[in-house]
Structure 1
């Protein structure tokens, strides 16, 4: 059995979340302590909050007094409502919260039935209960309960960078899926804006929106995540980032933007997209050939069908790139003109092999320093021959962009000689610092 514990400040939010499940007939209340359960089964959130507050101090220093616990048995364990209640009560007693106000809910919205417990970690005097090694103690208790009641041993699902990312399944546990997808995208992909972040999330039917405002005079800046269907329509209540984990928070995502800026290499994506543009006859052909090369494209259009945004999702490098970030040749206006306008294809030029200087020629000229002028004619002829049989032709299998000269070879450069020169300079400086030997 896996226990998940969330410590928070919003009692109303925890009760409201579980109350919605009950009122939507996706579960029921199994039991409570010091909190009145409505006889008709309909949860009155405000009334429950008042019941909790009657056992809590009016003023207290504990900023996060709410514990929201979920107990998740192994899928092979078929437990009755009475079994669930016995397990939950024993779990709370061993954890030290058995005498606290609490409400126990059973969730039946997914095949794997489980229970949620809402309680508080302060007593009537305002003193916080013992939370030392809370998660370690919880793990020990669940192991003991598994042994005592012959339950299957269940382990919490671990997410690693190698875990496959799958599209959200509306029939499954939506919150868990959203959390796992968001975590994996953040671990595996590079992006620099909220738009690029949403581009990759959209492949898995998730949307993220920024929320800014004021509550009780205090500004807040957060993120909210939505589960969607293939048409982009919302299919469940949104999830605040705080309910998914720190990895989904606005600060974590913005820090990811900053890190990605130093890690993204535009060249591999730019070369592939340039090549596909030159080989494509139109929109559908371009999209299909891009996908064959491992790149998806997200085209954003307004109500009139005009393209106002283009984002490339490169599965080869796990990078998301707005078209304008790649260069003006890849901006939304260029694709609008190609797909919906005069059909003019973006002009992506290929580098000219004859314009690339020969490395041997440059090295020879640098080393000679121009003193061997009598041999210049023969050197010129030899260099022309070497250019014709050069092995550099493979460098031009991928296109370049005008003005960037991605594959141009620089002037002659002898790496070994340069390394030797640096070593000699280092020794001279070291000798000066030490002084002459006596």
Structure 2
């Protein structure tokens, strides 16, 4: 049996989470301790919250007064509701929490049924039950209960760089799947922007969104993660990075951006992708042929389209070097505008196709990457690797410049890419105008 313990300060949030499972008939309330229970298996969230508050001290120095525990028996164990209830009470007693107010829920939303316990960890005197060595104590208690009730030994699955990454299964434990995907992608791939991060996540039906704001005068920068279907549609409520793990936090991902940039530059990893893409492009008869030929070379390419069908972004995922690269990082020949002219321009059918000048880009890769970063094709539409077309209503903004007006909505509103030469000319003219202004006295 595997136990997971989370400490927090959002008691109401924990009640709502479990209450929604019950309301959707994917769970039921098994038992309570010092909290009202009418025996129907349902829960009145408001009344339960009020009952908890009666046990909450008026003053406490404990910042995280509640705990959310999940007990997960081995999938081969078949337990009755009575068994689950007995396990929950014995576990809480052995953890020193037997006298605290708590609720025991059974979750049936996945094949592996399990229980959740929502409890206070602060007594009426304001003192918290010690959480020292919680992990080791909990593990020993689980082993003890397994032997007592003849349960199969179960250990938490360890994630390693060799663990295969699996696409989201909507019928499974979404939170765990999202966590595993984010962790494995972070361990295995190199990416330098949120767009590139989302490109690789999309292959497994996950997407990430930045959340920036200000609460009580404090500025915060966070991330939330979504599970999606094959069409990129969100299929569940978002998971905050803090619920997934430190490896999924904004700080951790920003750190990976910085390290990836150095590794790609120092090892020249982009050169490999550039050479292969150039070779395949010279042999391809069209977009579909180009995509399939690259797949044979273990490179996924994701095109992004406006509603009118214009290509405004392209991202390459090289599974050989484990690098995710926007087209602009490889050079102008691989930018969104170049592919638009190649595959969508009416005149492209009559123009001879020449292979891009690879050596020139190899010699000037650092300069080219720096120039193109200002015009990155970083927009992305979630979906799997076979979906390379998406509609768009915001037809004038690049992904990295776009910030949603309401957190959680329209993450992937992107527009056609900029023309670097036109943009550079415009900026140069703006600087000249500023220099030519006379000072005011």
TM-score of the two chains, using structure 1 as the length reference: 0.79
1:117 corresponds in structure 2 to: 117
Q: Secondary structure at the match of 2:151?
A: coil
Q: Does 2:278 correspond to 1:274?
A: yes
Q: Does 1:327 align with 2:286?
A: no
Counterpart in the other structure of 2:309: 305
Name the larger-Rg structure.
1
Q: 2:321 is matched with which residue?
A: 317
Residue 51 of structure 2 corresponds to residue 51 of structure 1: yes
| Correspondence for 1:189 | 189
Q: What's the counterpart of residue 260 of structure 2?
A: 260
With over 3 angstroms needed to count, the CA separation of the structure-2 counterparts of 1:310 and 1:38, relative to structure 1, is: farther
| Map of 1:169 onto structure 2 | 169
Going from structure 1 to structure 2, the CA distance change for 1:282 and 1:92 (only over 3 Å counts) comes to same
Question: Structure 1: which 5+ runs fail to align?
Answer: 351-398, 407-438
Q: Deviations over 1:350-405 (max 9, x none)?
A: 5xxxxxxxxxxxxxxxxxxxxxxxxxxxxxxxxxxxxxxxxxxxxxxxx5345738
| Matched residue SS, 1:98 | coil
> 1:403 & 1:115 partners in 2: Cα distance?
56
Post-superposition shift, 1:162? Answer: 0.3
Shift of 1:92: 0.3
Q: 1:3-402 counterparts in 2 under 5 A?
A: 3-37=3-37, 41-264=41-264, 265-341=269-345, 342-343=347-348, 347-349=354-356, 399-401=358-360
Retained in 1: the 8 A contact 2:333–2:356? no
Structure 1 stretches (4+) deviating beyond 6 angstroms? none
Describe the SS at the equivalent of 2:104. Answer: strand
CA distance in 2, matches of 1:98, 1:168: 37
1:324-370 CA deviation, whole Å, 9 max, x = no partner?
111111111111111111325775445xxxxxxxxxxxxxxxxxxxx
8 Å CA contact 2:331–2:361 kept in 1: the answer is no
- Which residue matches 1:359? none
TM-score (norm 2): 0.78
Instruction: Report how far residue 206 of structure 1 moved.
Output: 0.7
Task: Give the deviation of 1:256 after TM superposition.
Answer: 0.8
Q: Determine the C-alpha separation between the residues in 2 that align with 1:403 and 1:70.
A: 53
Encode CA deviations 1:24-62: one digit per residue, 9 max, x unaligned.
Answer: 110100111122235654433333222212111223211
Q: Which runs of 5+ in 2 are unaligned?
A: 366-441
Q: Deviations over 1:135-160 (max 9, x none)?
A: 10001101111111111111111100
For residue 20 of structure 1, report the CA deviation from its aligned partner: 0.8
Between the aligned partners of 1:10 and 1:403, the Cα distance in structure 2 is: 53
Distance 2:340 2:47 in 1: 57
Rounded to whole Å, the distance in 1 between the matches of 2:174 and 2:151 is 26
- 1:114 offset after TM fit, Å? 0.2
Structure 1 residue 215 displacement after superposition: 3.1
Could you say which structure has the greater relative contact order, defined with CA pairs below 8 angstroms and 6 or more residues apart? 2
Alignment partners' CA distance in 1, 2:353 and 2:261 = 26
**8 Å contact 2:2–2:155 — kept in the other structure?**
yes
**How many angstroms apart in 1 are the aligned matches of 2:252 and 2:362?**
37
Do 1:185 and 1:201's aligned partners in 2 also have CA atoms closer than 8 Å? yes
Q: Secondary structure at the match of 1:226?
A: strand
Q: Deviations over 1:212-237 (max 9, x none)?
A: 22334433221111111111111112
**Matched residue, 1:396:** none
Deviation, structure 1 residue 274: 1.0
8 Å CA contact retained: 1:277, 1:286: yes
What do residues 386-428 of structure 1 show as CA deviations (whole Å, max 9, x unaligned)? xxxxxxxxxxxxx53457389xxxxxxxxxxxxxxxxxxxxxx
Please tell me whether the aligned partners of residues 103 and 119 of structure 2 are also in contact (alpha carbons under 8 angstroms).
yes
In 2 relative to 1, CA 54–289 (structure 1 residues): closer, same or farther, beyond 3 Å? same
| Alpha-carbon offset, residue 71 of structure 1 | 0.4
